[in-house]
Amino acid sequence: MELIDRPSTDSDVESASWLLEQLDAESDLLADRSHVRHACVDAASAWPGDARELWWRWILEAGESLGFVGRALDCTYDQLLEMGRAGGRLIIRVESTGHWFGVACIRGRAVRLLNAAASEPCRWTSLAELKSSLEVDARDQIVRCVVIEPERPGDLSSHDHDHHLTPLARCWALLKPEAGDIWIILLFALVAGVLAMATPLAIEALVSTVTFGRLLQPIVVLSLMLLAFLAFQASIRGMQTYVVEIIQRRLFARIVGDLAYRLPRADLESMHGHPGRELVNRFFDVVTVQKITAQLLLDGVSVVLNTLIGMTVLGFYHPWLLGFDVVLLAMIAFAILVLGRGAVKSSIEESKCKYRMAAWLEDLAGSPIAFRHDGGAQFAMERANRLTFEYLSERRRHFRILMRQIIFALGLQAMASTALLGLGGWLVIDGQLTLGQLVAAELIVTMIVGSFAKLGKHMESYYDLMASVDKLGYLFDIPMERHTGLMSFSKHGPASVEVCELQYSTSGHAAHASGFSSLNLTIP
């Protein structure tokens, strides 16, 4: 290995290794300091030369050995800030001074700046100080930086491959990078849920107005106010749909990026003889993940928030209605947690049967001649029938759980509407509730139980989402070969191979061993 004899190389390697180690620590990952420094030394040895020209190559080379995914970019200062706000971790070397800087994250106008040469190496600072440190004079000035992706490839995998991550835990891992946008969706859904109460409250006011007078002006004003509220609610729903679409695109891109990084580095022995093409078929479940995630973020979240807001309004009408809310919530929890017990597991088993059938059909299509003679066609049909029977059995078992939830939800809808009508009528007769409040309460409960009646659709979608995430987990859990040490060869000359004291034996017993020992070989 060629060593570099430059005065600045040691300090540059130290700065690079310190920054990589600190960026790991800022991401709550434990880095082996000696491993990081060794990777940087190997990278500098593989690409000898001036650090001003090759520093970014050293970072990429060391990052490959450490499991980072990085990219060297020439970008403007504004683009650099945009990448930092998006979660990218940045490494920059100022050419004029030779100082190294790292940007762990950017939040608003605050920057988490890393600088080994400073008295306070890791600190929060302003965008103005960052601009001064990087010696940027104009916002469109080109800056060379290395961008390290916010999530390492493999963060979706189960690091202990003997223990498969639960589908729910893996689903959270998939959606974790989208946490900011999901909070925006929740905020939009909360506002839309409050605005959804405009209709029953407007009807309550209308009933009271009609009861005590016949003036047209209050009705016109009430109608215009309701139109404004509903129009605002519609615009919020439109923004929700757009944000969910962005999340779907990012999910697809992130899953593809993880698999494209993982599959070329897969440990073939760990695949246990499974054909790679058959395993990659599970990638098509990403479409299911996209669609169901969008459905649950739009409809599912809205149903939950509308239910909570509606029950809160009912609770303000009368304490008896608050008790009605508690009973209704208990029934909903019973339907989801008790009646849905075992549904995720049965959905996963159903999905496994589906993929076993797909693998068998692929075998038939891939070896058509083998199944044409000597009973091959009959064997193909018999195995297909057996796999079909297994699939139908698992589907029947899963649907049995789903059907009992649907029946309970439909029954609850009928009982809740009837109970509220009777309870509300008694309260109106007793003078504890106005007629307008009764009509509004009936509308709110109808909306709540009407949404709950669609529980079967949403729960089936949730179970399908868990099954799809579980299937993608088989791809995320493919172990990768460890890539450590020198990742690239120097282009300044051919590589040489040296073999020292090589031993080979065909048996572990010395009496029966055959082979050779103490082989020394040099290939220039």
Question: In this prediction, what percent of the chain has a pLDDT beyond 90?
Answer: 11
Dihedral of the alpha carbons of 69, 66, 64, 17, in degrees to the nearest 10: 100
Give per-residue pLDDT as tens, 241-283.
999 999 999 899 888 888 887 888 777 766 655 666 777 888 8
Q: What would the mean pLDDT of 340-355 be, rounded to a whole number?
A: 91
Burial class of residue 410 (count of CB atoms within 10 Å of its CB; 0-12, 13-18, 19+): middle
Q: For the chain, how many residues are written?
A: 524
Q: Is 496 helix (H, G, I), strand (E, B) or coil?
A: coil
Domains and CATH numbers, the chain: 7-148 (3.90.70.10), 167-476 (1.20.1560.10)
Query: Is residue 192 over pLDDT 70?
Result: yes
Name the residue type at position 246.
I
Q: How many CB atoms lie within 10 A of CB 254?
A: 18
To the nearest whole percent, how much of the chain has pLDDT over 70? 86
CA proximity to 91, closest of 82, 76, 80, 107: 80
Of 1, 10, 36, nearest to 21 (Cα)? 36
- pLDDT score of 303: 82
How far apart (Å, rounded) are the C-alpha atoms in residues 281 and 467?
14
User: How many whole angstroms separate alpha carbon 237 and alpha carbon 234?
Assistant: 5
Contact 69, 152 (CB under 8 A): yes
Sheet order of strands, 142-148 included = 70-76, 142-148, 89-93, 100-107, 110-114, 122-126
**pLDDT level of residue 385 (50, 70, 90 thresholds):** very high
- Supply the pTM of this predicted model: 0.72
Nearest Cα to Cα of residue 204 among 459, 456, 434 = 434
Please say whether the beta carbons of 459 and 295 come within 8 A: no
Cβ atoms of 480 and 269 within 8 Å: the answer is no
Per-residue confidence (pLDDT) for residue 425, from 0 to 100: 83
- For 137-183, how does the pLDDT look when each residue is reduced to its tens digit (9 = 90+)? 877 788 888 888 755 544 556 544 455 678 888 888 888 888 888 99
The residue type of 8 is S
- Asked if 75 contacts 83 with a C-beta cutoff of 8 angstroms, the reply is yes
pLDDT, tens digit (0-9, with 9 covering 90-100), for 496-521: 778 887 777 765 555 455 566 777 88
Dist. CA 100–CA 116, nearest whole Å: 8
User: Where would I find the beta strands (DSSP E) of 47-192?
Assistant: 70-76, 89-93, 100-107, 110-114, 122-126, 142-148
How far, rounded to the nearest angstrom, does the alpha carbon of residue 395 sit from its chain's CA centroid?
Answer: 28
Q: If pLDDT is split at 50, 70 and 90, which confidence band does 7 have?
A: very low
Model pLDDT, residue 204? 75
Q: pLDDT tens for residues 229-239?
A: 889 989 998 99
Which range has the worst mean pLDDT, 77-86, 154-163, 270-279, 341-350?
Answer: 154-163
Nearest-10 Cα torsion for 417, 420, 424, 425:
60
Helix (H) or strand (E) holding 246: helix 217-262
Q: Predicted confidence band at 394 (pLDDT cuts at 50, 70, 90)?
A: very high
DSSP state letter for 480 = B
- Asked if residues 282 and 355 have their Cβ atoms less than 8 Å apart, the reply is yes
The CA R_g of the chain, rounded to the nearest whole Å, is 32
Please report, for residues 170, 223, 360, 478, 481, the alpha-carbon distance to residue 280 in angstroms, rounded to integers and kept in the order given. 18, 56, 15, 11, 18
